[in-house]
Amino acid sequence: MKGWAAVFRGPRVQADLLQAVLEAAGLKAVQLHDAGDYAGEFFDARVFVPEEQAAEARRLISEAGQAGGP
């Protein structure tokens, strides 16, 4: 997608959560889902943000990952 950067690829349920985190922080985020898995919430998904927001999005994703750790 021209002008957009992929900041996450993984299970759709995680993509939904990360998209909500990014949007709550004021970033614009969209998802694309890859078909192939029969269980809807486990489809492979990608989250994209505008290229100029990619660094901030990656920082927020990193922080969210660290907060959920042991």
Nearest Cα to Cα of residue 58 among 3, 15, 7: 7
CATH of domain 4-67: 3.30.70
Q: Which has more pLDDT, 67 or 63? A: 63
Q: Domain spans of the chain? A: 4-67
Q: Exposure of 48 by Cβ count < 10 A (0-12 exposed, 13-18 middle, 19+ buried)?
A: buried
As given in the structure block, the two tokens for residue 62 are: 């990193």
pLDDT in tens, 15-63: 999 999 999 999 999 999 876 555 555 678 999 999 999 999 999 989 8
